[in-house]
A and B are shown apart, each in its own frame.
Chain A
Amino acid sequence: MIGEWLVAALILLGAVLCAVSSFGLIRMPDVYTRSHAATKSSTLGVMSILLGAFLYFLLMHQVTSAKMLLAIAFLFATAPVAGHMIGRAAYRSGVPLSERSVQDDLAKKLRSENKRTGA
């Protein structure tokens, strides 16, 4: 009984988080802020959906599907790296930050680097 409510709550929460994350993709001004919304919220959303599915099979069907737990672990380990790599690639290929930005330490460093290598 309590298990059903827990499963329902987890899956609903995950779906709501994914929805909020996609709204963030629409609303945010530039690549980097969008990346914040995409990496964090959708990671937690998908993780909680998977946990809900795992608990559903465990409690309703008495089946322990370890694949779900493995998927959660892999997501948890790979999502931050993906966000980091996309942000880095965007910055290196010269995607501008939004006009709201107040500070940019990396630009100076990249300029001096390019002077050295003559690029």
Chain B
Amino acid sequence: MAFQIVLNGLLALIWMLLANDMTFVGFVVGYFIGMAFLFGLRRFFKKPFYLRKVWAIVKLLGLFLKELVLSNIAVIGHIVRPRLTVRPGVFAYRTELRSDWEVTLLACLITLTPGTLTLEVSPGQDTLYIHAIDIGDADELKRQIKGSFERAIREVTR
């Protein structure tokens, strides 16, 4: 991924020298031409073409924003209700993600999801302890949501 981006920048630099225009616009044009070349030569690299990963990162950011808005709607619903109906609780959630980055991203995503907050990550990094604001209707649903998160994160990191 990083190697391909550096190579793309290098091709853009070569384009600037060839076309003899040392402007930002020249760099952008060269970058796109280099991208087309890399796409044509993608079977010579060990990793898949890097735009796929960039797209996965964009999708993850979109998921982050969507969850932020949804969680706000849920929490505001709890706050403005005339009688409090929250049933808070802490539940353990096992994750398949392993590396530091993945677990950190997952914990942040969980903190931003509707009514859940990460309290603790176990030392072995395989269990997250999550505080839910309303645990009664949540448990199964949470598992489904987490499935989608874990998949999105895995697409970025692997």
Contact = CB atoms under 8 A, between A and B. Distances in A.
Chain B facing A: main interface SS: mixed
B41 interface: no
Nearest to B122: A109
Interface stretch (A4-12, A27-35, A54-62): A27-35
Contact of B131 (A29, A41, A87): A87
Contacts of B75: 24, 36-37, 40-41
A105 B89 CA distance: 8
Contacts of B54: none
Interface in A54-99: 76, 80-81, 83-84, 87-88, 91, 97-98
A91 B117 contact: no
Interface in B61-78: 64, 68-69, 71-72, 75-76, 78
Contacts of A76: 64
Interface in A9-47: 17, 20-21, 23-24, 27-30, 32-33, 35-37, 39-41, 43-44
Interface residues of B, number: 33
Contacts of B141: none
Nearest to B81: A27
A2 interface: no
B118 interface: yes
Given A40-B71, A100-B88, A80 B112 contact: yes
B119 A106 contact: yes
A84 B130 CA distance: 10
B51 interface: no
Nearest to B112: A80
Interface residues of A, number: 38
B117 A39 contact: yes
Q: In this complex, which of A39, A81, A106 has the most chain B Cβ atoms within 10 angstroms of its Cβ?
A: A106
B147 interface: no
B97 interface: no
B117 A32 contact: yes
26 contacts: A20-B79, A24-B79, A28-B79, A29-B84, A32-B119, A32-B131, A33-B88, A36-B115, A36-B117, A37-B75, A37-B79, A40-B68, A40-B71, A41-B72, A43-B68, A80-B111, A81-B108, A87-B117, A91-B120, A100-B86, A101-B89, A102-B136, A104-B89, A105-B90, A106-B92, A106-B119
Given A80-B108, A101-B90, 14 more contacts: A21-B79, A27-B79, A28-B86, A29-B84, A29-B88, A33-B86, A36-B75, A40-B72, A76-B64, A87-B118, A97-B89, A103-B90, A105-B91, A106-B90
